Amino acid sequence: MGKDCSSLSTLLDKYFDGETSQREREAVEAHLKQCPACRERLKFMSEVKEAFQRPVLEALEKETFPWLWEKIEREIRFKPRETLWESIKGWFETTPFLKKRIWIPATVVAILLILLISPTLFKKNSSHFPLPVVKYVESKTNNVMVYELENGKVTVIWLFEESEAESSPS
Amino acid sequence: MNKTILFLFLLPIIFLGFSSQEAWSQIPTRLRVIEASNVGATIDPSLKELHGQLSSLFKYTSYRLLRDERLHLRLNQTTVLPVHPGRSIEITPLKFQANTAELRVKIKRERTEILDAQVRLPPGRTVLIGGPKHGEGVVILAFSSLF
Q: Which residue has the higher pLDDT, A1 or B63?
A: B63
Distance in Å, alpha carbon of A77 to nearest chain B alpha carbon? 32
How far apart are alpha carbons B115 and A143 in whole angstroms?
9
Phi, psi of A76 (to 5 degrees): -65, -45
Per-residue pLDDT, A62: 74
Q: Which residue has the higher pLDDT, A70 or B4?
A: A70
Whether the CB-CB separation of B35 and B64 falls below 8 Å is answered with yes
Distance in Å, alpha carbon of A75 to nearest chain B alpha carbon? 29
Q: Which residue of B has its CA nearest to A137?
A: B117
ipTM: 0.76
Average pLDDT over residues A59-83: 74
Whether the CB-CB separation of A148 and A155 falls below 8 Å is answered with yes
Report pLDDT digits (tens) over B5-47. Answer: 666 666 665 655 555 454 456 888 888 888 888 888 888 888 8
pLDDT at residue B107 greater than cutoff 70: yes
Tell which of A102, A125, A145, A164 to mutate to test the B interface (max B CBs under 10 Å).
A125
CB contact under 8 A, A154 and B122: no
Report pLDDT digits (tens) over B60-87. Answer: 888 888 888 898 888 889 988 887 677 8
- DSSP state at residue B125: -
How far apart are alpha carbons A115 and A112 in whole angstroms?
5
Report pLDDT digits (tens) over A112-166. Answer: 999 888 877 765 554 455 667 888 888 888 888 888 766 667 788 888 876 544 4
Give me the count of residues in chain B. Answer: 147
How far apart are alpha carbons A153 and A155 in whole angstroms?
7
Domain map (residue ranges) of chain B: 27-145
Per-residue pLDDT, A165: 42
How far apart are alpha carbons B116 and A159 in whole angstroms?
11
How far apart are alpha carbons B69 and A166 in whole angstroms?
29
Average pLDDT over residues A58-87: 76
Chain B CB contacts of A123 under 8 Å are 98-99
Per-residue pLDDT, B44: 85
Per-residue pLDDT, A44: 92
Neighbours of B5 (CB within 10 A): 14
Q: Which residue of A has its CA nearest to B129?
A: A157
Per-residue pLDDT, A152: 64
How far apart are alpha carbons A128 and B28 in whole angstroms?
26
Per-residue pLDDT, B124: 79
Average pLDDT, chain A: 79
Report pLDDT digits (tens) over A25-47. Answer: 999 999 999 999 899 999 999 99
| CA end-to-end distance (rounded Å), chain B | 37
Distance in Å, alpha carbon of A76 to nearest chain B alpha carbon? 29
Which residue from B15, B115, B118 is facing A159, i.e. has the nearest CB? Answer: B115
Domain map (residue ranges) of chain A: 3-62, 84-122, 126-165
